[in-house]
Structure 1
Amino acid sequence: MAARDAIRSTWGTEKLVADKIISVLFLTGLPTSQDSEKLQEDLLQESEKYHDILQSDFWDSYYNLTIKTVVMLEWLSAYCQNASYAMKIDSDMFLNVKNLVNMLLPAPKQNYMTGLVARGGMVLRDPYSKWYLPITVYSPAHYPPYALGLGYVFSLDLAGKLVKAAQLVKPVYIEDVYIGMCMNHLGIALTDPPDGSLFNVFPVDYNRCRYSKLIATTTRSLQNQVDFWRDLQTPGPYC
């Protein structure tokens, strides 16, 4: 809940940018810890208060992120057909919503996905690695291009197409790689962002000028996320 509240008090408050309506929703599965009943009760109360939580019937864990992502795509395909774009973003990310919208204004409305695009990524065969995939699961030595799961953007037509592809592409638990595999199956290329510094996998040290130009970055703490966003809202030149 702390991460959701950090978003609700910062970039999640931006509902209208350049006359474009922004909606922020949180997707969760079922709690897996010992006090799951209490967590579920708290989640229902939070949902009653904010009306921004989607919950589905799967255990919410790292190894179920592919399920979570396909659930997101199914929901978008069913309920968001009037939207132009969606962004999947982790809850510990800083997002500059204005820059995101500005990037999307001239962007294609179909077959478009961008973010921090990994190309030629090697498949890790070390059984002790968090991202281990055995040859029996995925035989090629390299992954197809994919957008890192920390935050990627796509045109809404892709939601339905990816759901259909997911019925045919053998799942792997590394969710961002799996979406790349589905894009590859569809024969749709990923788009590199207009600037390589817009999406950042490693925390970017705060600098008002730098943050006024990026779109998304990981941060070292939720407090950083809040402090950086608030500083960026204060009047005055960025650079």
Structure 2
Amino acid sequence: MYNGSADGPGKFQKALPRNDPLRLSMIYPGNYHFILDDTELCRSIHPYLVLIVPVAPGNWKARDAIRRTWGNETLIQGELIQTVFLLGVPNSGNIKVLQRNVRTENRLYHDLIQSDFIDSYHNLTIKTMVIMDWLASRCPMVPYAMKIDSDMFLNVENLVSMLKTPGTPTTIYMTGRLKNESPVVREKNSQWYVSEDSYRENEFPTHVVGIDFTPPPERYHFRLYMYEFHHCHLAKSICAILQTAAQLINYWTSLKGPGPAC
């Protein structure tokens, strides 16, 4: 199962000929190796649902906020839920210090998975492929997995309720917020710029190749940006995009406190 920002095709540091073997193989997950992977997840712990969060190595604030909120929800409706974080290697700042901090953090929580690709915005496609590779190789028997970005609010109770609803597929199942006819951004100053050399079509495909998309029971289950706290909106949602780690903690605390009947 997928939710989060829709990542476009991978972009390259420099243009390569279309038939160049390097270009054709850059996002193949077998090109990369796990350098940090000591979680007990799917070894001695066999969850019903794995929540896997792609996050930058230096973004410890986001990981801390998730551990203090929805990442701390481990038993919902009798089902075991586990959260892990997927990182690449740092490519800026004091790389040695950042990497040492990552290893220290993992010794405390044992919930970091790190691969040896460069962690950058342009490598988000690689990051997603590595997530899929890890799930397929480490957790092939897990019933459900969710890729969720680090800036998301997640209502785990509602997520499990959706998964346990009669009729929810148990195999070849993907759901989330679907973007129809999403245009490719060609403005070079945009964060989401994709060159024609990287992707020729003017729109991204609606569906993942080979997998039919299953709409969620309600469109509001997967929300876009939520700039202000609204108790009933969050109480009925599965997830929403937030702006800061502090906002996640505040929204979570408010939702768990007294509120109106929804």
TM-score w.r.t. structure 2 length? 0.72
Q: Secondary structure at the match of 1:98?
A: helix
Hey, what does 1:94 align to over in structure 2? 153
Hey, what does 1:231 align to over in structure 2? 254
Q: Secondary structure at the match of 1:126?
A: coil
Query: Which of the residues 44, 56, 66 maps onto 2:115?
Result: 56
Hey, what does 2:85 align to over in structure 1? 26
Q: Does 1:137 align with 2:198?
A: yes
> What's the CA shift for 1:236?
5.8
Q: Does 1:4 align with 2:27?
A: no
> What's the CA shift for 1:225?
0.6
Q: Secondary structure at the match of 1:25?
A: strand
Unpaired runs of at least 5, structure 2: 1-59
Which whole-Å CA distance do the structure 1 matches of 2:179 and 2:132 have between them?
21
**For each residue in 1:84-103, what CA deviation from the matched residue of structure 2 results, as whole angstroms up to 9, or x when unmatched?**
11111111111100011111
Query: Which of the residues 186, 193, 213 maps onto 1:125?
Result: 186
Q: Does 1:197 align with 2:197?
A: no
Q: Does 1:42 align with 2:42?
A: no
- Of 129-138 and 198-207, the range deviating more from structure 2: 129-138
Hey, what does 2:143 align to over in structure 1? 84
Which whole-Å CA distance do the structure 2 matches of 1:221 and 1:136 have between them?
34
**For each residue in 1:172-193, what CA deviation from the matched residue of structure 2 results, as whole angstroms up to 9, or x when unmatched?**
xxxxxxxx5xx22x2x221222
> What's the CA shift for 1:237?
5.0
Which whole-Å CA distance do the structure 2 matches of 1:192 and 1:18 have between them?
23
Query: Which of the residues 98, 114, 124 maps onto 2:175?
Result: 114
Which whole-Å CA distance do the structure 2 matches of 1:211 and 1:238 have between them?
12
**Structure with a larger share of its residues in helix:** 1
**For each residue in 1:40-73, what CA deviation from the matched residue of structure 2 results, as whole angstroms up to 9, or x when unmatched?**
1111010000000001101111011111111110
Which whole-Å CA distance do the structure 1 matches of 2:227 and 2:142 have between them?
30
* Distance verdict in 2 for CA 1:99–1:113, change over 3 Å: same
Alignment-mate amino acid for residue 175 of structure 2 = T
Preserved CA contact (<8 Å) 2:63 2:150: yes
Which whole-Å CA distance do the structure 2 matches of 1:238 and 1:232 have between them?
12
Q: Which ranges of 4 or more aligned residues in structure 1 deviate by more than 6 Å? A: none
> What's the CA shift for 1:141?
2.4
Hey, what does 1:220 align to over in structure 2? 243
Which whole-Å CA distance do the structure 2 matches of 1:34 and 1:225 have between them?
26
Hey, what does 1:211 align to over in structure 2? 234
TM-score w.r.t. structure 1 length? 0.79
Alignment-mate amino acid for residue 51 of structure 1 = H
Which whole-Å CA distance do the structure 2 matches of 1:123 and 1:236 have between them?
41
Hey, what does 1:74 align to over in structure 2? 133
Preserved CA contact (<8 Å) 2:231 2:259: no
Quote the sequence identity (%). Answer: 42
> What's the CA shift for 1:235?
5.0
> What's the CA shift for 1:198?
1.3
**For each residue in 1:154-211, what CA deviation from the matched residue of structure 2 results, as whole angstroms up to 9, or x when unmatched?**
xxxxxxxxxxxxxxxxxxxxxxxxxx5xx22x2x221222111111221252121111
Which whole-Å CA distance do the structure 1 matches of 2:261 and 2:156 have between them?
16
> What's the CA shift for 1:116?
1.1
Preserved CA contact (<8 Å) 1:115 1:192: yes
Query: Which of the residues 153, 158, 162 maps onto 1:103?
Result: 162
